[in-house]
Structure 1
Amino acid sequence: MPSISHQGDHITAISARHSAPAAKNTHADHTTIAPGEIAIGVVIGRASEYFDFFVYAIASVLVFPAVFFPFEQRLEGTLYSFVIFSFAFLARPIGTVVFMAIQRHLGREAKLTSALVLLGISTAGIAFLPTYSHLGYASIILLSILRVGQGLALGGSWDGLPSLLALNAPQDKRGWYAMLGQLGAPVGFMIAGSLFAYLLANLSPEDFLDWGWRYPFYVAFAINVVALFARLRLVSTNEYAHLLDERELEPTRITELLGTQGRNVLIGALAALASYALFHLVTVFPLSWITLYSSRSLTDVLYIQITGAGFMAAGVIASGLIADRFGRRNTLGTLALLIAILSGFVPILMDGGEFGQNVFILTGFSLLGLSYGQAAGAVTANFASRFRYTGAALTSDLSWLVGAGFAPLVALGLSAHFGLAYVSLYLLSGAGCSMAALSLNRALEIRD
């Protein structure tokens, strides 16, 4: 945030610009907020969202099959759990549309406050939700409703800061600034994975399934409330509000967006599909597959994945330097090719005992970091300023839905019924879509 000593000057300058709109284009220094300050808001928001994301994802494997689907075999229970897991990805674009309308009529603060309340209710509701043994099928219905609520709220929590950061980043450092928000993914996984690993190691299986699993949801609720209030305070300041308005980062109607920017939405959603497909195939899928078909300690698997998340964080950081040196399009294209190569080794590695599984997890996380670090720029690169706010949100929602929303369900279902080779084909298809979209988008290398 800007220092207190300069805040008055900044607000005075903003008031002067509002009183003389024509002067906006004559000011050499029309932004009073440095990209680094915007980046703080981006990192806070994304880290909290990803922590909440992974708490639910891990619980979908370790907890929900047993406590909400005890009447099914473990495989079927896990698949049902993954169906509910996907509901948030289906609801997210709907949430974006609904909350964009709220912002148009009531303002940015009302939109974010509404999203905060809905997310808090949904996450806290899961923490207190009675299980199947207490409530029967009603517990499954309530879990589904709360999961939809999380998706709607995450769609509504879009604050425009990543787009603002992209537009204000120096020309030669756009890859670096684009990766900052993506650091939230490995950080969120490391914290969520560590919490579950600690609970598994220190509680009996009965205590863990009875009450221990609820603790990470309490933490997720607290973190999201604090983070969303921090973001709300950030974007509601006069300086940020003016900068967002100046950059035309305001909602546009979905019909207008799709009518004029439909091609960019489609290409943006597919350009980083390799990253989104790999995302759940190194986080959620290995945990579910090993739970079902291996006698390995789940705590040890989580520790390996936490280590992999550390590799991912290093890869995200490196991606910024690489993209600024070689271009985002070249970076994403090369990583899509490497992910396609990795897809061919899925059966050998996942069926190769602890060593093979560890190699797949660590290699996958490393490639994910290098690729996912630039995924945010990929989905927003081609939008004109007035469409970027809504376009970036909706395109990101569609990328998650197409690439990651059903990945755990599809990967586990295919591997269980047809073999791990079909997981290779699934991952390969994501890499192929990315390379095809990047080949159509020559402008991605030179525009942010």
Structure 2
Amino acid sequence: MAENVELPSPAWRDQAIATPADNPAKARRIALTAGLAASIEWYDFFIYGTAAALVFGPMFFPSANPVAGILVAFATFGVGFVVRPIGGILFGHFGDKFGRKPMLVVAMIMMPAATTLIGLLPTYSSIGIAAPVLLVLFRICQGLAVGGQWGGAMLMATENAPEGKRGLYGSFVQVGVPVGLVAGNAVFLVIARVVSPEQFMSWGWRVPFLLSAVFLLLALHIHFRIEDTPEFRQAEAKLATLSQRRRRSPVIDVLRRHPRQVLTATGALLGGNAALYVLVTGTLDYATRTLGIPKDKMLIAVFATMSTAIVLIPLFAYLSDRIGRRRVCAAGSIVMGVWPFAVFPLVETTNLVWIVLALEVAIIAISAGYGPLAALFAELFPAHLRYSGVSFAYQFASVFGGGVAPFIMVLLLESTGSSVAVSAYLSVLSVIALVSLALMRFTPVERSAPR
């Protein structure tokens, strides 16, 4: 039946993908804007994780057992990840139908609004059970927003990239993760230094959340100054010639026609995603609560580590344009399969130099897998299904790789009394990533690009 024919045709797809951006300077501006949008979204998303490790347990989930309080706080951190696939599905569906830009604008409004409201939220001691309920509600809004943001931002960057530079341009969005983390931790670090511990717990922790209100201005800039991508406009023109009966839901289409690409993309991200959140959020809690390391000391270590990632991610993405995405990602997965067994013994020394060394080597491996990811995912799916495909895979990997990782880490540490179990957990996920990379099947796009 005609309904089962893959649309658009592979020949048209090749032509659309292989066409470089007409204006390199404009392409760079769009990529940088997309990267800034991603940085802001991740800043908002990650400061919740820092606050969950340092504040939210006693402020919103008071309990006689401190471990129970931190588990509940991390569980609400995970809620943001659980709803990210829903955000990816919704934004992907409308992004493939109506464009990358409008969905990115919606996400850029939704995220700062929810983050600012968290900063204004009264604690449990003031309004009782309504406080944690509203906190979870705002976290859900954050999860929905970041679920749609990544796909829109990375496609704005990669689909405008000149030929042979898709990896580098896509890395501008990937850099948003460490930039957001560094910015969030920098704000927390400064506040922790200038106010007393009592003031920090009373009102200081709110400042990073309230700062998010100014980020709404970027949404207006994107709305009025940035055009949608050439590939989407060509796909839109092609699909406009089809009857509505033959235009299925993009999400259903991508799962039905490209299940292998979705599964392998999800698997490829699992190890690095879990490692990132264990190192940034889980280790922050473990070092401060269990090992007694001062909070500002650990924030310095995380700050230094993520600052390194800002340099490494574009470097590995550029390398992937030269020697292939899978080779670079596989090298990172191999290191992450082994290094976690050294990370925790080094952290347990409580010496800042050894802690930074442990995290720095880990972030090199994570950056190798994460830098080329935007281009790698874009090359797995055809243009008319790409927003749905990349969002679905990325967000589901974030749930099972990153969202539950700090929670699993705490459970493993409490149940086994040893960090070896956490290292083994990360190692298994790295093996899954390697197998997924080996099994990937790409759409016939940008054939000259190494894989």
TM-score over 0.5 for the pair: yes
**d(CA) in 2 for partners of 1:319, 1:159:** 20
The match for 2:73 among 41, 59, 81 is 81
**d(CA) in 2 for partners of 1:104, 1:309:** 32
Q: Which residue in the other structure is 1:4 paired with?
A: none
- Can you list the C-alpha shifts for 1:242-279, whole angstroms capped at 9, x where unaligned? 65312559995321221111111111111122221111
The answer to whether structure 1 residue 229 and structure 2 residue 217 are counterparts is no
1:311 shift after superposition: 1.5
**d(CA) in 1 for partners of 2:105, 2:431:** 40
Which range moved further: 137-146 or 107-116?
107-116
**d(CA) in 2 for partners of 1:175, 1:77:** 42
The answer to whether structure 1 residue 420 and structure 2 residue 413 are counterparts is no
Q: Which residue in the other structure is 2:57 paired with?
A: 65
The answer to whether structure 1 residue 39 and structure 2 residue 31 are counterparts is yes
The answer to whether structure 1 residue 362 and structure 2 residue 354 are counterparts is no
1:15-414 equivalences under 5 Å are 31-34=21-24, 35-100=27-92, 111-112=103-104, 114-157=106-149, 160-223=152-215, 225-235=216-226, 237=227, 240=228, 244-248=232-236, 252-354=249-351, 355-414=353-412
Counterpart of 1:353 in 2: which secondary structure? coil
**d(CA) in 2 for partners of 1:67, 1:283:** 21
**d(CA) in 1 for partners of 2:29, 2:43:** 22
1:314 shift after superposition: 1.9
**d(CA) in 2 for partners of 1:186, 1:110:** 25
Q: Which residue in the other structure is 2:245 paired with?
A: none
1:108 shift after superposition: 6.5
Which range moved further: 214-223 or 119-128?
119-128
Counterpart of 2:83 in 1: which secondary structure? helix
Counterpart of 1:214 in 2: which secondary structure? helix
- Can you list the C-alpha shifts for 1:400-425, whole angstroms capped at 9, x where unaligned? 11210111111122122212111111
Counterpart of 1:179 in 2: which secondary structure? helix
Indicate how the Cα distance of structure 1 residues 358 and 416 shifts in structure 2: closer, same or farther if over 3 A, else same.
farther
**d(CA) in 2 for partners of 1:243, 1:379:** 15
Indicate how the Cα distance of structure 1 residues 63 and 340 shifts in structure 2: closer, same or farther if over 3 A, else same.
same
1:360 shift after superposition: 1.6
Equivalences, count: 420
Indicate how the Cα distance of structure 1 residues 348 and 109 shifts in structure 2: closer, same or farther if over 3 A, else same.
closer
Counterpart of 1:71 in 2: which secondary structure? coil
1:344 shift after superposition: 2.3
Any unmatched runs of 5+ in structure 2?
Answer: 1-11, 240-247
Contact persistence 1:331–1:371 (CA under 8 A): yes
Counterpart of 2:381 in 1: which secondary structure? coil
**d(CA) in 1 for partners of 2:206, 2:268:** 37
**d(CA) in 2 for partners of 1:194, 1:117:** 23
Indicate how the Cα distance of structure 1 residues 234 and 79 shifts in structure 2: closer, same or farther if over 3 A, else same.
farther
Which residue identity does 1:180 align to in structure 2? F
Contact persistence 2:235–2:383 (CA under 8 A): yes
- Can you list the C-alpha shifts for 1:360-406, whole angstroms capped at 9, x where unaligned? 22222232223221222333321112111221222221121121011
Contact persistence 1:305–1:362 (CA under 8 A): no
Indicate how the Cα distance of structure 1 residues 271 and 112 shifts in structure 2: closer, same or farther if over 3 A, else same.
closer
Give the TM-score of the pair, scaled to structure 1. Answer: 0.85
**d(CA) in 1 for partners of 2:99, 2:426:** 41
1:101 shift after superposition: 5.2
Indicate how the Cα distance of structure 1 residues 318 and 108 shifts in structure 2: closer, same or farther if over 3 A, else same.
closer
Which range moved further: 389-398 or 171-180?
171-180
Contact persistence 1:200–1:208 (CA under 8 A): yes
**d(CA) in 1 for partners of 2:95, 2:130:** 34
Which residue identity does 1:427 align to in structure 2? L
**d(CA) in 2 for partners of 1:325, 1:85:** 38
The answer to whether structure 1 residue 438 and structure 2 residue 437 are counterparts is yes
- Can you list the C-alpha shifts for 1:42-77, whole angstroms capped at 9, x where unaligned? 211111111112211111111101211222422221
Contact persistence 1:74–1:292 (CA under 8 A): no
Contact persistence 2:105–2:222 (CA under 8 A): no
- Can you list the C-alpha shifts for 1:213-268, whole angstroms capped at 9, x where unaligned? 11100112322x12322222344x4xx36653125599953212211111111111
Contact persistence 2:96–2:385 (CA under 8 A): no
Which residue identity does 1:357 align to in structure 2? I
1:351 shift after superposition: 2.4
Task: Give the alignment's Cα RMSD to 1 decimal.
Answer: 2.8
